[in-house]
Amino acid sequence: MVRSSVFLQRTKWLSGTLALWLLIGSAFVAQADETNKSPQPDKIMALAPNLVEILFELGVGHKIIGVSEHTDFPEKARQIPIVANYLGVQLERVIEKQPDLILVWHGTTPQNDINKLTSLGIKIETFYAESVPDLVTEITRMGQLIGTPQRAKQLASQIQQEYQQILSTRELTSGTESSTWPIGFIEIWPEPLTTAGSQTIVGMSIELCGLNNMYSEAGPQYPQASLEKVLTTQPDVIIQPVSFSNPTKTKDWSSYSFLNAVKKQAIISPNADALFRWGPRLTAEISALCADIQKVIKN
Protein backbone atom coordinates (compact mmCIF):
# COMPACT_ATOMS: atom_id res chain seq x y z
CA MET A 1 0.00 0.00 0.00
CA VAL A 2 2.86 2.37 0.87
CA ARG A 3 4.60 1.62 -2.43
CA SER A 4 1.35 2.20 -4.31
CA SER A 5 0.88 5.53 -2.59
CA VAL A 6 4.43 6.63 -3.39
CA PHE A 7 4.00 5.47 -6.98
CA LEU A 8 0.81 7.49 -7.35
CA GLN A 9 2.45 10.58 -5.88
CA ARG A 10 5.41 10.27 -8.26
CA THR A 11 3.05 9.75 -11.18
CA LYS A 12 1.11 12.88 -10.27
CA TRP A 13 4.35 14.86 -9.89
CA LEU A 14 5.66 13.68 -13.25
CA SER A 15 2.33 14.43 -14.90
CA GLY A 16 2.28 17.93 -13.41
CA THR A 17 5.88 18.58 -14.45
CA LEU A 18 5.21 17.29 -17.96
CA ALA A 19 2.16 19.54 -18.23
CA LEU A 20 4.19 22.52 -17.08
CA TRP A 21 6.92 21.89 -19.65
CA LEU A 22 4.32 21.41 -22.37
CA LEU A 23 2.78 24.75 -21.39
CA ILE A 24 6.16 26.49 -21.48
CA GLY A 25 6.98 24.84 -24.79
CA SER A 26 3.68 25.97 -26.27
CA ALA A 27 4.40 29.54 -25.15
CA PHE A 28 7.80 29.49 -26.86
CA VAL A 29 6.28 28.03 -30.03
CA ALA A 30 3.56 30.72 -30.01
CA GLN A 31 6.18 33.42 -29.49
CA ALA A 32 8.30 32.01 -32.32
CA ASP A 33 5.28 31.87 -34.58
CA GLU A 34 4.46 35.50 -33.76
CA THR A 35 8.05 36.51 -34.45
CA ASN A 36 7.96 34.71 -37.77
CA LYS A 37 4.76 36.51 -38.68
CA SER A 38 6.20 39.95 -37.90
CA PRO A 39 10.00 39.91 -38.23
CA GLN A 40 11.72 42.89 -36.66
CA PRO A 41 13.36 45.21 -39.22
CA ASP A 42 17.17 45.25 -39.09
CA LYS A 43 17.74 48.01 -41.65
CA ILE A 44 15.63 51.12 -41.12
CA MET A 45 15.55 54.45 -42.92
CA ALA A 46 14.00 57.39 -41.09
CA LEU A 47 13.34 60.33 -43.40
CA ALA A 48 12.66 63.02 -40.79
CA PRO A 49 14.88 64.23 -37.93
CA ASN A 50 12.19 63.69 -35.27
CA LEU A 51 11.74 60.06 -36.33
CA VAL A 52 15.47 59.50 -35.89
CA GLU A 53 15.32 60.95 -32.38
CA ILE A 54 12.46 58.61 -31.47
CA LEU A 55 14.29 55.56 -32.84
CA PHE A 56 17.40 56.35 -30.81
CA GLU A 57 15.25 56.72 -27.69
CA LEU A 58 13.73 53.31 -28.43
CA GLY A 59 17.20 51.77 -28.56
CA VAL A 60 17.42 50.99 -32.28
CA GLY A 61 19.60 53.85 -33.49
CA HIS A 62 22.19 51.31 -34.61
CA LYS A 63 19.68 49.93 -37.12
CA ILE A 64 19.25 53.22 -39.00
CA ILE A 65 21.00 53.10 -42.39
CA GLY A 66 19.68 56.32 -43.93
CA VAL A 67 18.27 59.68 -42.82
CA SER A 68 17.13 63.01 -44.24
CA GLU A 69 18.95 66.33 -44.34
CA HIS A 70 19.15 68.33 -41.07
CA THR A 71 19.24 65.19 -38.93
CA ASP A 72 21.54 66.29 -36.13
CA PHE A 73 20.39 64.75 -32.86
CA PRO A 74 21.65 62.77 -31.07
CA GLU A 75 25.29 63.29 -32.06
CA LYS A 76 25.60 59.74 -33.44
CA ALA A 77 22.84 60.52 -35.94
CA ARG A 78 25.17 62.92 -37.77
CA GLN A 79 27.24 59.94 -38.93
CA ILE A 80 24.36 58.22 -40.74
CA PRO A 81 24.24 58.65 -44.55
CA ILE A 82 21.79 61.25 -45.86
CA VAL A 83 19.48 59.82 -48.52
CA ALA A 84 16.75 62.49 -48.71
CA ASN A 85 15.84 66.14 -48.25
CA TYR A 86 12.68 68.23 -48.62
CA LEU A 87 13.04 68.11 -52.42
CA GLY A 88 13.03 64.34 -52.67
CA VAL A 89 14.59 60.95 -52.02
CA GLN A 90 17.80 59.64 -53.59
CA LEU A 91 16.05 56.57 -54.98
CA GLU A 92 19.17 54.81 -56.26
CA ARG A 93 20.90 55.05 -52.87
CA VAL A 94 17.82 53.78 -51.09
CA ILE A 95 17.46 50.82 -53.43
CA GLU A 96 21.17 50.05 -53.11
CA LYS A 97 20.95 49.87 -49.31
CA GLN A 98 17.86 47.59 -49.40
CA PRO A 99 16.07 48.80 -46.25
CA ASP A 100 13.59 46.52 -44.49
CA LEU A 101 11.50 49.51 -43.46
CA ILE A 102 11.28 53.22 -44.27
CA LEU A 103 9.65 55.64 -41.84
CA VAL A 104 8.36 58.99 -43.10
CA TRP A 105 6.65 61.96 -41.46
CA HIS A 106 3.49 63.12 -43.19
CA GLY A 107 4.09 66.00 -45.58
CA THR A 108 7.90 65.95 -45.48
CA THR A 109 8.63 63.37 -48.19
CA PRO A 110 7.27 63.84 -51.75
CA GLN A 111 4.39 61.46 -52.37
CA ASN A 112 5.73 60.53 -55.82
CA ASP A 113 8.90 59.15 -54.23
CA ILE A 114 6.88 57.25 -51.64
CA ASN A 115 4.79 55.70 -54.43
CA LYS A 116 7.90 54.65 -56.37
CA LEU A 117 9.47 52.98 -53.35
CA THR A 118 6.21 51.26 -52.46
CA SER A 119 5.93 49.91 -56.02
CA LEU A 120 9.34 48.30 -55.55
CA GLY A 121 8.05 46.33 -52.58
CA ILE A 122 9.73 48.43 -49.88
CA LYS A 123 7.65 48.73 -46.72
CA ILE A 124 6.88 52.33 -45.80
CA GLU A 125 5.09 53.59 -42.69
CA THR A 126 3.86 57.18 -42.33
CA PHE A 127 3.60 58.97 -38.99
CA TYR A 128 1.86 62.22 -38.10
CA ALA A 129 0.89 64.29 -35.06
CA GLU A 130 -1.00 67.50 -34.40
CA SER A 131 -0.86 67.32 -30.59
CA VAL A 132 1.14 65.75 -27.78
CA PRO A 133 -1.47 62.98 -27.32
CA ASP A 134 -1.04 62.21 -31.04
CA LEU A 135 2.72 61.96 -30.50
CA VAL A 136 2.18 59.52 -27.62
CA THR A 137 0.01 57.35 -29.87
CA GLU A 138 2.52 57.38 -32.72
CA ILE A 139 5.45 56.47 -30.46
CA THR A 140 3.47 53.51 -29.15
CA ARG A 141 2.68 52.42 -32.70
CA MET A 142 6.31 52.73 -33.72
CA GLY A 143 7.38 50.54 -30.81
CA GLN A 144 5.03 47.80 -31.96
CA LEU A 145 6.29 48.14 -35.51
CA ILE A 146 10.02 47.86 -34.75
CA GLY A 147 9.79 45.32 -31.93
CA THR A 148 10.35 47.55 -28.86
CA PRO A 149 6.83 47.85 -27.40
CA GLN A 150 7.96 48.06 -23.78
CA ARG A 151 10.48 50.86 -24.33
CA ALA A 152 7.92 52.70 -26.45
CA LYS A 153 5.35 52.34 -23.68
CA GLN A 154 7.80 53.78 -21.14
CA LEU A 155 8.73 56.71 -23.40
CA ALA A 156 5.07 57.42 -24.21
CA SER A 157 4.21 57.35 -20.51
CA GLN A 158 7.01 59.80 -19.69
CA ILE A 159 5.86 62.24 -22.38
CA GLN A 160 2.23 61.91 -21.27
CA GLN A 161 3.19 62.68 -17.65
CA GLU A 162 5.18 65.76 -18.72
CA TYR A 163 2.23 66.91 -20.82
CA GLN A 164 -0.20 66.55 -17.92
CA GLN A 165 2.18 68.50 -15.70
CA ILE A 166 2.26 71.33 -18.26
CA LEU A 167 -1.54 71.47 -18.30
CA SER A 168 -1.72 71.44 -14.49
CA THR A 169 0.85 74.22 -14.18
CA ARG A 170 -0.99 76.34 -16.75
CA GLU A 171 -4.24 76.06 -14.80
CA LEU A 172 -2.46 77.12 -11.62
CA THR A 173 -0.64 80.09 -13.14
CA SER A 174 -2.71 81.34 -16.08
CA GLY A 175 -6.11 79.85 -15.30
CA THR A 176 -8.50 78.06 -17.63
CA GLU A 177 -10.04 81.13 -19.29
CA SER A 178 -7.88 81.91 -22.33
CA SER A 179 -9.39 85.38 -22.62
CA THR A 180 -7.43 86.40 -19.52
CA TRP A 181 -4.09 85.04 -20.72
CA PRO A 182 -1.17 87.37 -21.60
CA ILE A 183 -0.50 88.04 -25.30
CA GLY A 184 2.42 86.38 -27.01
CA PHE A 185 4.09 87.13 -30.32
CA ILE A 186 6.19 84.45 -32.05
CA GLU A 187 9.07 85.61 -34.23
CA ILE A 188 10.10 82.93 -36.71
CA TRP A 189 12.18 85.20 -38.97
CA PRO A 190 13.20 88.87 -38.60
CA GLU A 191 13.23 90.09 -42.22
CA PRO A 192 10.59 89.86 -43.49
CA LEU A 193 9.02 89.59 -40.06
CA THR A 194 7.43 86.13 -39.97
CA THR A 195 5.28 84.54 -37.29
CA ALA A 196 3.36 81.31 -36.58
CA GLY A 197 -0.30 80.37 -36.29
CA SER A 198 -1.91 78.54 -33.37
CA GLN A 199 -1.97 75.18 -35.14
CA THR A 200 1.79 75.12 -35.75
CA ILE A 201 3.90 73.20 -33.27
CA VAL A 202 5.31 76.39 -31.71
CA GLY A 203 1.89 78.05 -31.68
CA MET A 204 0.46 75.05 -29.86
CA SER A 205 3.37 75.20 -27.41
CA ILE A 206 2.86 78.80 -26.27
CA GLU A 207 -0.86 78.18 -25.80
CA LEU A 208 -0.02 75.19 -23.61
CA CYS A 209 2.00 77.68 -21.56
CA GLY A 210 -0.98 80.01 -21.18
CA LEU A 211 -0.23 82.66 -23.81
CA ASN A 212 -2.67 84.02 -26.36
CA ASN A 213 -1.02 83.86 -29.77
CA MET A 214 -1.33 87.25 -31.50
CA TYR A 215 -1.63 85.45 -34.84
CA SER A 216 -3.84 82.56 -33.77
CA GLU A 217 -6.04 83.06 -36.82
CA ALA A 218 -3.16 82.03 -39.08
CA GLY A 219 -3.90 78.37 -38.28
CA PRO A 220 -1.21 75.95 -39.49
CA GLN A 221 0.67 78.67 -41.37
CA TYR A 222 3.81 80.79 -40.94
CA PRO A 223 2.64 84.15 -42.41
CA GLN A 224 4.44 87.46 -42.62
CA ALA A 225 3.60 89.63 -39.61
CA SER A 226 2.82 93.31 -39.52
CA LEU A 227 5.25 95.31 -37.40
CA GLU A 228 2.53 97.92 -36.93
CA LYS A 229 0.19 95.27 -35.54
CA VAL A 230 2.87 94.09 -33.10
CA LEU A 231 3.50 97.65 -31.90
CA THR A 232 -0.19 98.47 -31.45
CA THR A 233 -1.20 95.12 -29.93
CA GLN A 234 1.53 95.36 -27.29
CA PRO A 235 2.49 91.71 -26.68
CA ASP A 236 3.41 90.79 -23.13
CA VAL A 237 5.93 88.20 -24.28
CA ILE A 238 7.98 87.82 -27.48
CA ILE A 239 9.13 84.32 -28.38
CA GLN A 240 12.27 84.07 -30.55
CA PRO A 241 13.06 80.36 -31.10
CA VAL A 242 16.78 79.89 -31.82
CA SER A 243 18.45 76.88 -33.43
CA PHE A 244 21.69 75.88 -31.76
CA SER A 245 22.64 73.58 -34.63
CA ASN A 246 21.95 76.19 -37.31
CA PRO A 247 21.98 79.69 -35.72
CA THR A 248 20.05 82.44 -37.52
CA LYS A 249 19.48 86.16 -36.98
CA THR A 250 16.77 87.50 -34.68
CA LYS A 251 15.16 90.92 -34.57
CA ASP A 252 16.57 93.48 -32.13
CA TRP A 253 13.53 94.80 -30.24
CA SER A 254 15.49 97.05 -27.88
CA SER A 255 14.66 100.23 -29.85
CA TYR A 256 10.94 99.66 -29.15
CA SER A 257 11.27 100.43 -25.45
CA PHE A 258 7.56 101.22 -25.07
CA LEU A 259 6.56 97.60 -25.78
CA ASN A 260 5.37 95.68 -22.73
CA ALA A 261 7.60 92.76 -23.62
CA VAL A 262 10.67 95.01 -23.92
CA LYS A 263 9.92 96.86 -20.67
CA LYS A 264 9.67 93.59 -18.78
CA GLN A 265 12.59 92.03 -20.66
CA ALA A 266 10.10 89.36 -21.60
CA ILE A 267 11.87 88.13 -24.73
CA ILE A 268 12.47 84.38 -24.61
CA SER A 269 14.63 82.24 -26.91
CA PRO A 270 13.69 78.55 -26.60
CA ASN A 271 15.64 75.78 -28.35
CA ALA A 272 14.10 75.61 -31.84
CA ASP A 273 15.77 72.24 -32.51
CA ALA A 274 13.64 70.66 -29.78
CA LEU A 275 10.55 72.88 -29.99
CA PHE A 276 9.94 72.43 -33.73
CA ARG A 277 10.10 68.62 -33.78
CA TRP A 278 7.46 66.10 -32.77
CA GLY A 279 9.95 64.08 -30.79
CA PRO A 280 11.07 62.95 -27.34
CA ARG A 281 12.51 66.36 -26.38
CA LEU A 282 9.34 68.34 -27.10
CA THR A 283 7.50 68.24 -23.77
CA ALA A 284 10.65 68.94 -21.75
CA GLU A 285 11.33 71.98 -23.94
CA ILE A 286 7.73 73.19 -23.58
CA SER A 287 8.05 72.81 -19.80
CA ALA A 288 11.20 74.95 -19.83
CA LEU A 289 9.48 77.51 -22.05
CA CYS A 290 6.49 77.69 -19.72
CA ALA A 291 8.77 78.23 -16.73
CA ASP A 292 10.56 81.08 -18.54
CA ILE A 293 7.23 82.66 -19.53
CA GLN A 294 5.94 82.60 -15.97
CA LYS A 295 9.18 84.09 -14.72
CA VAL A 296 9.05 87.12 -17.03
CA ILE A 297 5.32 87.68 -16.58
CA LYS A 298 5.75 87.98 -12.83
CA ASN A 299 8.41 90.70 -13.21
Peptide bond before residue 74 is cis, with ω within 30 degrees of 0: yes
Q: What is the pLDDT of residues 271-298, one digit of tens each?
A: 999 999 999 999 999 999 999 999 998 8
Q: Domain 44-128 classified CATH 3.30.2080.10?
A: no
Instruction: Indicate whether 147 pLDDT > 50.
Output: yes
Average pLDDT for 68-90: 95
- Give the residue with greater pLDDT, 284 vs 218: 284
pLDDT in tens, 3-50: 444 434 444 444 444 444 444 444 443 444 344 456 789 999 999 999
pTM: 0.84
Of the pLDDT bands very low, low, confident and very high (cuts 50, 70, 90), residue 211 is very high
Query: Nearest-CA neighbor of 156 among 290, 288, 60, 279?
Result: 279
Which of 147, 111, 133 is closest to 282 using CA atoms? 133
Query: What is the pLDDT, as a whole number, of residue 164?
Result: 97
Give the pLDDT of residue 175. 76
pLDDT, residue 180, reads 86
- Give me the architecture of the 176-297 domain, per CATH: 3-Layer(aba) Sandwich (3.40)
Do 255 and 245 contact (CB within 8 A), yes or no?
A: no
Q: Where are the domains of the chain?
A: 44-128, 176-297
The whole-number pLDDT of residue 171 equals 87
